[in-house]
Structure 1
């Protein structure tokens, strides 16, 4: 290692240690965030090292992360993106590729999803000219069921795209079976659920393709970033093309002629021998991540198992501590699942003598951060009211979520002292109103 580089990295580690907030937790004063990144000196030095190497585009760290992450999640291929939202867009768009021939999705085809979720699971459906079909979810698990999905399948249904809510798996084995029986594509939005299992199998491995987010709130962070994973090599090739401007070439941007066939192609109406690096087979995007992001992802990946354990432990402490609190619907793991939780959802019973807003105001006043369960019922938002869509059944629970549900944090930086303060605060509020 270069002497100057070594000195800089040593000083970076010391800087990180000096910069740590060592103040004790003060109830009602110290912020208890609902989510956040957990970063140590290895993360900071990895970022600095990547910057010193001037790895400002995708490069060796990106390829190394893709390889390691694919193995970790049980897939053959992973493609880094600049966000989880971009990952969802690429995953959905991949199924519209002409390379899928008669199976490709076309404008007007329907995709089953849930009404109570985050917009970026639904937006790619609309952005590709497809029609979302909304179904309701269960209170407690905040996921839909295979029965609801089965009822929603119609003559125009071609795909299913659902997120595992707050890290809690939906009935993914049963829904994957439905997809197989009806020749539907299945996309698992696994952005909140890295490390979760259903029937002992990792979520994100049941469908044709899956997505992950590396936003700071998620299980791993790159600041921004996401990933598309699949074991279908044809789909992986389509995703790569769409991510990389739509080009047909699979050589890395810095490679000159790795395939040894760069000037041997004839495609479209282009002349024979046109440079393959500049032949485009899809109407694509530039949604790549950078090596600086990937360098952080690599150090984060080493800590994934510990992060997941902490999330489960924190969720269990909240669940045990709040058990029996009147008029609160507590979260439940989907049967046969082991969630790697993203958050702890609370629904105030509509018959409660207190309101969700009052409870949230009380908690926020004590510096306990809360978040809504994302968009609640998406069909009620101005962005979607006039968009073509279909609703199957009622959306009663999605409406209850819109009015009555919020979540609090379980991320690894939260201490037992913080969680116990959250528990005592909820009990104090409810005890004063019940």
Structure 2
């Protein structure tokens, strides 16, 4: 490292320490966010160092992160994207590739998912001309079950894509077994659940493909960003092509003739020897991340285990503190799972003497941030009412979630004082309104 660069980075560390907010927590005044990034001086230095190196496109940090993250999640390949939403789009679109031959999904094929979730799990289904098939979820775990999924399998079913709800695994081993039995693809939306396990195995490692998000609310952050992971090398190649404009070549930007036959390909009706770097085998996108994002991701990845432990600890503190409070349905881990919690979800009993809105208003008045369980029942939103879809069974619990459910934070930036204040505030409200 040059002397000037070392001096700059040393000043960055000093600057970071000067920015630290040493003010004490003041109940009712200090904001308690439901989610947020936890960034330290190493993160700030990593970003500045990448900028000093002028690594403005995907480069060595991106490749290093992909390798390390794939190893961490027990997958053979990881491909960085510009968001978790793009990761889901790539995962679903990959299953429509002509390279899959007879297994490829085609417009009109059905994909099973849940009604109570986030739009970016469902949107790629519709964007590829596929038909979402919605099933309900359980209260307490906020996940669907293998039994519900099995009941939804029909002659047009080709795939299943489900998110592990708020870091709590769904019955992924059983659903993976259903996929094997019926020759279906499985995509795990693992954006909220990095580090969770089911039957002792990491979520994100069961499906043909899995996705993650690096938005600031998630387990580690790049500001924006996401990732598609798989152990299927054919699917990995398709994902890479779709992410990188749809090109057939696998050379990194700046690389040439890695395959030693750059000018020896003949594809489509192109002339023999057409430059492979400019042959396109998919109708793709440009959904790559940058090296600045990856540099931040690498320093965050080094802290991931600690972040996960903090989320679990914070969730337990809220769960123990609220145990026995009347009129509230508290969350439970899916049997055989060890969740990596994204948030602490609460459902107000529909028979309670107070409303969810009143409780949320009270908490917000005390500067305690809340969020809905994302979209609630997606089929009730204007965006989806005129879209082709199928519903199997009733969506009773999804409707209850729409009306009665919210969540508060467990992210590592929260202190015991903050968590205890959340518990105290919920108890104060319930006692005053019961």
**Fold conserved (TM > 0.5)?**
yes
1:116 matched to 2:116? The reply is: yes
**What TM-score do you get using the length of structure 1 for normalisation?**
1.00
2: distance between equivalents of 1:85 and 1:220?
Answer: 16
Match of 1:17 in 2: 17
2: distance between equivalents of 1:124 and 1:261?
Answer: 35
1:347 matched to 2:347? The reply is: yes
Deviations 1:159-203 (A, max 9, x none): 000000000000000000000000000000000000000000000
> In the TM superposition, what is the alpha-carbon distance from 1:129 to its structure 2 partner?
0.2
1:87 matched to 2:80? The reply is: no
Structure 1: segments with no counterpart, 5+ residues: none
1: distance between equivalents of 2:392 and 2:137?
Answer: 12
Match of 1:308 in 2: 308
Match of 1:387 in 2: 387
Aligned residues: 434
Match of 1:334 in 2: 334
Match of 1:258 in 2: 258
**Equivalent position SS for 2:246:** coil
Match of 1:292 in 2: 292
1:217 matched to 2:217? The reply is: yes
Match of 2:105 in 1: 105
1: distance between equivalents of 2:254 and 2:289?
Answer: 15
2: distance between equivalents of 1:182 and 1:46?
Answer: 46
Deviations 1:357-400 (A, max 9, x none): 00000000000000000000000000000000000000000000
1:77 matched to 2:77? The reply is: yes
1: distance between equivalents of 2:253 and 2:302?
Answer: 28
**What TM-score do you get using the length of structure 2 for normalisation?**
1.00
Match of 2:229 in 1: 229
Give 1:410-421 correspondences, 5 Å limit: 410-421=410-421
2: distance between equivalents of 1:378 and 1:140?
Answer: 19
Deviations 1:308-340 (A, max 9, x none): 000000000000000001100000000000000
Match of 2:57 in 1: 57
Match of 2:275 in 1: 275
> In the TM superposition, what is the alpha-carbon distance from 1:35 to its structure 2 partner?
0.2
RMSD of the TM alignment (CA)?
0.3
2: distance between equivalents of 1:4 and 1:116?
Answer: 53
Match of 1:169 in 2: 169
Deviations 1:283-303 (A, max 9, x none): 000000000000000000000
> In the TM superposition, what is the alpha-carbon distance from 1:2 to its structure 2 partner?
1.1
2: distance between equivalents of 1:330 and 1:140?
Answer: 6
> In the TM superposition, what is the alpha-carbon distance from 1:256 to its structure 2 partner?
1.8
Match of 1:191 in 2: 191
1:422 matched to 2:388? The reply is: no
1: distance between equivalents of 2:21 and 2:217?
Answer: 20
1: distance between equivalents of 2:167 and 2:424?
Answer: 25
**Equivalent position SS for 2:270:** coil
2: distance between equivalents of 1:258 and 1:158?
Answer: 36
Structure 2: segments with no counterpart, 5+ residues: none
1: distance between equivalents of 2:167 and 2:50?
Answer: 31
Give 1:144-155 correspondences, 5 Å limit: 144-155=144-155
2: distance between equivalents of 1:180 and 1:124?
Answer: 23
> In the TM superposition, what is the alpha-carbon distance from 1:245 to its structure 2 partner?
0.1
Deviations 1:90-110 (A, max 9, x none): 000000000000000000000
> In the TM superposition, what is the alpha-carbon distance from 1:406 to its structure 2 partner?
0.2
Deviations 1:117-170 (A, max 9, x none): 000000000000000000000000000000000000000000000000000000
